Amino acid sequence: MPLGVAVITGLLAGLHASTWGMYKDAPHEGFTWRTYFRSTVVATILAPILARVFGMPFDGPGDLVVLFGATYAFERATAEIYKTFIRVEDQSKYFIPMQLSVFGKPVESYGMRLLVGAGYVAVLLAVIAVVSWIDETRTTPMPLIPTLFIASAFGWISAFGGAWKDAPLEGFQTLKFFRSPAMAMGFAFLTTLLTDRLLFVTLCAIGYTIATTESYKTFFRLHVPRGKFQGKPVLYPEILSWRQRFVPLYVSIWLVVVTAWVWGIIDRA
């Protein structure tokens, strides 16, 4: 895949994540361009690296959809690992702690957080390694049902991680728990219409699950406070109207992705 194409794809993925993150957090935390562009910069750097490391092709618009989803998955994983295990921040401003916590109480030992974080990263890399090994060793196309179950792996990791963090304070919600694995299977199926690589299907499954879930929670449930700020005051109410100017950018990126996805499916038909 050409470097310029990968960079632009990463830029779009990063702007997408930056926008919903700002839209939900800025009324509580304030807005800075540095914070807004953080995900954009990370995704723009990640996309060409992923394209090169995983040997991603460029034969049509469907390949851009795949790179977008894979970049989204890695950018979100990077952000969550940083916030959960590495960043040192006052957690009193949150209803649900963003740092590693046990039964809703943040783990104070930095060394312990790093140790658990290293284990978490090892699990993620192990899933990638196993899926890559399956890709490299299989000699026939994988049946659809096993593909969907394998590709939902990160959805299950997300479900357990979310329950660990949220349930002690919000209570366990069965539908919420199974949402990520179910959506990951759905997006895995849609991605199989674009690529035969199981690794790409697995990464896109969780990448698009996160993008869709956050879009729904951000723009279609405005009356529901974001979990981590539940019960916390809106310190910057002027941003509630100012943030609307970012909506056209967000919608435009979704339109590009959906159009490329449909185009890619038609190309492979």
Q: What is the pLDDT of residues 144-189, one digit of tens each?
A: 999 999 999 999 999 988 888 888 877 788 888 899 999 999 999 9
Angle, helix 61-81 to helix 247-268, in steps of 10 degrees = 130
pLDDT in tens, 44-101: 999 999 999 999 989 899 999 999 999 999 999 999 999 999 998 888 888 888 888 9
How far CA 143 is from CA of 93, 112, 148, 150, 229, in Å, comes to 48, 41, 9, 11, 43
pLDDT at 20 over 90: yes
Rounded CA-CA distance 74/71 in Å is 5
Residue 262 pLDDT greater than 70, yes or no: yes
Sign of CA dihedral 193, 194, 196, 198: negative
Instruction: Specify the DSSP class assigned to residue 86.
Output: I
Model pLDDT, residue 225: 65
pLDDT at position 92? 80
Instruction: Mark 185-220 as b/e (b = at least 16 C-beta within 10 Å).
Output: bbbbebbbbbbebbbbbbbbbbbbbbbebbbeebee
User: Quick one: pLDDT band at residue 207, thresholds 50, 70, 90?
Assistant: very high
3-class SS at 102?
Answer: strand
- Over 80: is that where the pLDDT of 2 sits? yes
pLDDT of residue 94: 82
What's the mean pLDDT when you consider all of the chain? 92
Lowest mean pLDDT among 93-107, 120-134, 197-211, 217-231: 217-231
What is the model's pLDDT at position 226?
A: 67
- The answer, yes or no, to whether residue 137 has pLDDT greater than 80, is yes
Instruction: Give this prediction's pTM.
Output: 0.93
